[in-house]
Amino acid sequence: MQRQPARVALSHLGAQGLQTWTWAQLLDGVARRAGALQQQGVQPGDRVALLGVNSAQLVQGLLACWWLGAVACPLNVRWSAPELAAALDDAQPALLLCDAALQPLVAGCALPQHTLDRFDAAAQAAAPLPDRRCGGDALAALLYTGGTTGRSKGVMLGHANFWAASMTRGAELNNPPQSVSLLVAPLFHVAGLGRLVGQLIVGGSCVTMPQFRADAALQAIAELGISDIIVVPSMLQALLDHPQFDAARLQGLSRIAFGAAPMPPDLLDRALAAWPQAEFFQAYGLTETAGAVCINPPSTHRGEQRHGPRLHAVGRAGLGAEIRVCDELGDELPRGQVGEIVVRGAMVMQGYWRQPEASAAALRAGWLRTGDAGRMDDEGWLYVVDRLKDMIISGGENVYSAEVEAALRGHAAVQDAAVVGRPDTRWGEAVHAVLVLRAGQVATADELQAWCRTRLAGYKCPRSFQFVDALPMSAAGKVLKNTLRAQATA
């Protein structure tokens, strides 16, 4: 703020048009909201739950928690009332701030709560609170996992975790202070929150919008000087397919990061052609690592390396991170062998909130067990093969769903694919494919099975197919395979 108090720090593009805050205004608003939190009885170390779509109100509420020394607990706006109630019961927050439209979901929760609008009004009259300057190992946030394998876990991230993750990314890819980042990833997800932190550190600007809409995102990129964006492949496809897409008006976008789901090669080709000057890179990380620990850099996505094998890697260990591929005992495997990816570094979480057994299982001798299966080549490039829980064991053979999905996406009629295991009396599990076909395209199960047999071993080929209009997706852009598995076994 001392460097550029009059520069725009935060903008919001919503129903009321564009609203902006300079760094001086943002600091004053955050300090007053911290004072309002204190008036509500919130003390340093208390949890504050926040339930809201991306907005300037939500950003300032999050920052006010840190200004006061409280712990921000942003919750998934797509959760049901029972899921939210379970997370609130686990976090035991001193206060809940929520969007008015979402209040019915938490109306039954017996804890102090205010709408973000009402809280903002109270903050206008509150005296600004001095910054308590919390940092280091002080707990900054509880980010709840999706709970796809059972009880949702609160990932404990300290201020130092966010700092380390931002420094790792910034050291590998320069993040200039004049950058303007469009925050379309939700702030309850580590991709969105981590990007916000990175921009704050360098004095960059952020633009928020309530949810991703291709038309609004295209307008923002064209008119607000957006320089970078983090997307999942489905978002990128929505931008490119939109009738209002005009590449000539979007060339200010100089950096596009993607992750969370595999990038179809044809989609990447279209994006590279649309933004010939932009840097594209893939990021790999987890909620438990406060952001990316591995980056496949822009140099891999263009020129001679564009068609090389490393395009399919997620990169090498980020600066400040160590990565290994290990067996079930935690011993490192020879290069090229598939095992569990484990990570060590200052960005790794403190543990899971109030779940010591789960924490001990995930953190072994200082290494985080990611639950991802991968392999590493002789030069340290990491390839993610699958989620371990998504691996299918058919007839005693391991089938990595990501490999089968990649083969299916190579068919001209297939837009998207998800592969899960379904119970089978003979094989234990059978490979089941759920497909979204491209508009106007037709493909039969027999045709697709024949396609796979020319590319995969017989035991990897799907034995059954289901055609749907869209795959169920989480707010982070990941396919909800637990939902597909439940449907396949119903």
* Domain annotation for the chain: domains and CATH numbers: 8-300 (3.40.50.12780), 391-489 (3.30.300.30)
Closest to 47 in 3D by CA, of 141, 122, 169:
141
Give residues with Cβ within 8 angstroms of 142, minimum separation 6: 47, 71, 72, 73, 91, 154, 155, 156, 157, 353
Burial of 357 (0-12, 13-18, 19+ CB in 10 A): exposed
The single residue listed with the structure tokens 């320089």 is: 227
What the block records as the tokens of 457 is 């071993």
Residue 10's beta-bridge partner residues?
21, 206
> pLDDT tens string for the chain (490 positions)?
678 899 999 999 988 889 999 999 999 999 999 999 999 999 999 999 999 999 999 999 999 999 999 999 999 998 888 889 999 999 999 999 999 999 999 998 889 999 999 999 999 999 999 999 999 999 999 999 864 445 689 999 999 999 999 998 888 888 899 999 999 999 999 999 999 999 999 999 999 999 899 999 999 999 999 999 999 888 898 899 999 999 999 999 999 998 877 777 788 889 999 999 999 999 999 999 999 999 999 989 887 777 778 888 999 999 889 999 999 899 999 999 999 999 999 999 999 999 999 999 999 999 999 999 999 999 999 998 887 777 788 877 778 788 888 889 889 999 999 999 888 877 788 899 999 999 899 999 999 999 998 888 888 899 999 999 999 987 667 788 888 888 887 7
From CA 4, how far away is CA 432, in angstroms rounded? Answer: 56
Cβ proximity of 58 and 116 under 8 Å: yes
Q: How far apart are CA 454 and CA 402, in angstroms?
A: 17
The four Cα atoms 393, 397, 399, 400 give a dihedral, to 10 degrees, of 100
323 in Cβ contact with 317 (< 8 Å): yes
Handedness of CA 106, 209, 174, 283 (dihedral sign): positive
In degrees to the nearest 10, what's the CA dihedral of 239, 240, 246, 249? 60
Using CA atoms, how far apart are residues 168 and 231, in angstroms rounded to an integer? 20
Question: Cα torsion at 132, 137, 138, 144 (round to 10°)?
Answer: 140
Report the C-alpha gap between 144 and 155 in whole angstroms. 6
For tokens 């000539």, the residue is 248
Among all chains, which residue has been given the structure tokens 């980042």? 181
Decide the pairing of beta strands 255-258 and 205-208.
Answer: unpaired
Q: Are the beta carbons of 419 and 401 closer than 8 angstroms?
A: yes
Helices and strands counted in the chain (H then E): 14, 26
Cα gap 386→162, rounded to integer Å: 26
HSE toward the beta carbon, residue 378, CA cutoff 13 A: 0
Where helices occur in 40-151 by DSSP H, the ranges are 56-68, 81-91, 103-106, 116-125
Are 211 and 189 a contacting pair, CB within 8 Å? Answer: no
Q: Over the Cα atoms of the chain, what is R_g?
A: 23
Residue 134's φ and ψ, nearest 5 degrees, are -75, 145
Backbone angles phi, psi at 188, to 5 degrees: -85, -5
To the nearest 10 degrees (0 to 180), the angle between helices 23-39 and 116-125 is 100
In angstroms, the Cα distances linking 154 to 163, 356, 369 are 19, 12, 16
In total, the chain counts a number of residues equal to 490
